[in-house]
Amino acid sequence: MKGKINISIIGAGNVATHLGIALHKAGYKINEVYSRSIKNATELSDKIDAQSIDNVSKLSKSSDLYVIAINDDGIIPTLKQIEFKDKVFVHTSGSISMNVFEELNFKNYGIFYPLQTFSKDKSINISEVPFCLEANSDPTLQLISNIAGSISNSINYINSEQREVLHLAAVFACNFSNNMYQIAHGITTENNISFDILKPLILETASKITTITPQEAQTGPALRNDQNTLNKHIKKLENKPDLKEIYKLISNHINSTRKTD
Amino acid sequence: MKGKINISIIGAGNVATHLGIALHKAGYKINEVYSRSIKNATELSDKIDAQSIDNVSKLSKSSDLYVIAINDDGIIPTLKQIEFKDKVFVHTSGSISMNVFEELNFKNYGIFYPLQTFSKDKSINISEVPFCLEANSDPTLQLISNIAGSISNSINYINSEQREVLHLAAVFACNFSNNMYQIAHGITTENNISFDILKPLILETASKITTITPQEAQTGPALRNDQNTLNKHIKKLENKPDLKEIYKLISNHINSTRKTD
């Protein structure tokens, strides 16, 4: 059954790579991988028994699903190059509305958004990745639900408005928390302390929110309103105005939510 | 051997509770738990076969180690009430210098700082918690190294200056990343989306830094300098000035480190 469904992957970045490999492993036939760089396309296509192309006009017209997994900015320009508009197209972006397909006269379309942070060199258990799905018709939703359901145990129906909000929340939960790690990495390495010593703390901080709420999990000097420590820390950041500003702003925010939530 | 070492726990909060239980389990005799609140002291002492006291003057004078695990602000006032100064005292704070002991004429002292975030209702694998140790003499360092080494596999010798820096880094890595989770929690629940959908993302974001650096792990619209998405997000936060400010500041920081690191 899966073997009869053919998929084209448009993109060869982090998301395209993880998805392409997962779909191939699940038994789908990947017709081709498109990238503006044939080298990038080939790097992925070689792994998943597919062709590689660097021109949208070379896309096979016989695929059952076209997965557009490229940078947000590239989605509309790429869609504009596609002339066969009756096939099923999905994109994987958290922040681009499903309307882009309608506006460009596509007939069957949807969203196939894996809510996860992908880096090429970090393997991931795709079965635990929440897929946020949306489609313009029941048959298309059924098709992409089946496909998502064959690689992941977490299928979620999220409309475009909710998805935009979810993407914003994900930026805080992932991108911004990672930036906090990066700041910590900078502070430790600059002071000849191994960043390794912070790793159990980082893992436990994340693990906590699987069993208690972030509000219950909050600890630290800002929560205790421990002015002595806060002032000591701000003083240590005297020569790093951007970090000092971040420190003050987030500490104030922790303190304010303590009072009002 | 462990059975012959007696320990007094001063404090009954999160750190005192996790340490007290771990030391008891490791076979040490806990003489008593002190807290200003006898109810809190008893709650812990009942679990670890110890006495409970609410007055520092009642501390047994026969313990081999006195572990001061209370809020930073309480450390000096509590130490001032202790009249027998020849025994071994340690505190568990990340941000209070070891000098406090010397200034109050203690003879044998050190630091026993578990670099972890403790919440009472969240169990923890103490064997993976990095202990940061420091002492004013070799015998005291040996004693606390043995004790820490019997409950944890991660023993680190960190002086007071390094520890202050480490604590600052830990505030970013733990307290601030948790606040990012809390903001994400607020955004999702406010929009009737289950926070659960973000949990795999949060766990993966933390897990990534065990194998790649935070800089390598960074993803998201700020890193890509994707102005469309950044502006959309900022607009969504129009009615939340504090979150809008945090969003802009951290996005700018992510973008600036991309350029200069």
Q: What are the helix (H) ranges across A46-98?
A: 72-80
How far is A49 from B13, CA to CA, in rounded Å? 58
Average pLDDT score, chain A: 94
Q: Which residues pair with B91 in a beta bridge?
A: B68, B111
The answer to whether the CB atoms of A202 and B177 lie below 8 A apart is yes
The beta-carbon neighbor of B169 closest among A177, A187, A257 is: A187
Residues in chain A, overall count: 261
Percent of chain A residues topping a pLDDT of 70: 98
Angstroms from A45 CA to nearest CA on chain B = 23
DSSP string, B140-159: HHHHHHHHHHHH-SEEEE--
- Interface mutation vs chain B, best among A123, A176, A193, A204, most B CBs within 10 Å: A176
Residue A260 has pLDDT above 50, yes or no: no
The answer to whether the CB atoms of A237 and B175 lie below 8 A apart is no
pLDDT of residue A118: 87
Longest dimension (CA), chain B: 67
Tell me which chain A residues have a C-beta less than 8 angstroms from the C-beta of B229: 72, 95, 167
Angstroms from B174 CA to nearest CA on chain A = 6
pLDDT of residue A2: 61
How far is A52 from A41, CA to CA, in rounded Å? 5
pLDDT of residue A3: 58
CA A41, chain centre distance (Å): 20
How far is B225 from B218, CA to CA, in rounded Å? 12
How far is B128 from B178, CA to CA, in rounded Å? 20
CA B105, chain centre distance (Å): 27
The CB-based long-range contact list for B227-235 (8 Å cut-off, 24+ gap) reads B228/A72, B228/A73, B229/A72, B229/A95, B229/A167, B232/A95, B232/A164, B233/A167, B233/A168, B233/A171
For A27: left if phi > 0, alpha if psi spans -120 to 50, otherwise beta; the answer is: left
How far is A209 from A218, CA to CA, in rounded Å? 10
DSSP structure class, residue A3: G
Tens of pLDDT, residue by residue over A200-256, are 999 999 999 999 999 999 989 999 898 989 999 999 999 999 999 999 999 999 999
Name the E strands within chain A. 6-10, 29-34, 51-53, 65-68, 88-91, 108-114, 130-135, 154-157
The answer to whether the CB atoms of B178 and A116 lie below 8 A apart is no
The answer to whether the CB atoms of A184 and B202 lie below 8 A apart is no
- Interface mutation vs chain B, best among A100, A115, A182, most B CBs within 10 Å: A182
The beta-carbon neighbor of A181 closest among B204, B214, B252 is: B214
**Alpha-carbon dihedral B31, B37, B43, B45, rounded to 10 degrees:** 0
The answer to whether the CB atoms of B215 and A185 lie below 8 A apart is yes
How many angstroms separate the Cα of B138 from the Cα of each of B89, B142, B190? 14, 6, 55
Do A67 and A41 contact (CB within 8 A), yes or no? no
Tens of pLDDT, residue by residue over A33-74, are 999 999 999 999 999 999 999 999 999 999 999 999 998 889
Other CB atoms within a 10 A radius of the CB of residue B248 amount to: 16
Tell me which chain B residues have a C-beta less than 8 angstroms from the C-beta of A168: 187, 233, 236-237
| Element containing residue B110 per DSSP (H, E) | strand B108-114
Q: Interior CA angle at B109 toward B107 and B115, to 5°?
A: 170
- Interface mutation vs chain A, best among B115, B172, B227, B229, most A CBs within 10 Å: B172
Angstroms from B209 CA to nearest CA on chain A = 8
Angstroms from B84 CA to nearest CA on chain A = 28
The beta-carbon neighbor of A218 closest among B128, B179, B187 is: B179
Rounded mean pLDDT for each run of 10 residues along chain B, 261 residues in total:
84 96 97 97 97 96 97 94 96 94 98 91 91 98 98 96 95 98 97 96 96 93 91 96 97 82 41
- Interface mutation vs chain A, best among B18, B72, B176, B199, most A CBs within 10 Å: B176
Do A141 and A148 contact (CB within 8 A), yes or no? no
Query: Would strands B88-91 and B108-114 be described as parallel, antiparallel, or unpaired?
Result: parallel
Angstroms from B61 CA to nearest CA on chain A = 31
Tens of pLDDT, residue by residue over A95-116, are 899 999 999 999 999 999 999 9
Tell me which chain A residues have a C-beta less than 8 angstroms from the C-beta of B121: 212, 216
Angstroms from A254 CA to nearest CA on chain B = 7
The beta-carbon neighbor of B73 closest among A216, A217, A226 is: A226
How far is A82 from A97, CA to CA, in rounded Å? 18
Residues whose CB is less than 8 angstroms from the CB of residue B257 and which lie 6 or more positions away in sequence, other chains included? A179, A182, B215
Tell me which chain A residues have a C-beta less than 8 angstroms from the C-beta of B200: 115-116, 128-130, 154
Size of interface A-B (CB pairs under 8 A): 337
pLDDT of residue B168: 97
The answer to whether the CB atoms of B118 and A183 lie below 8 A apart is no
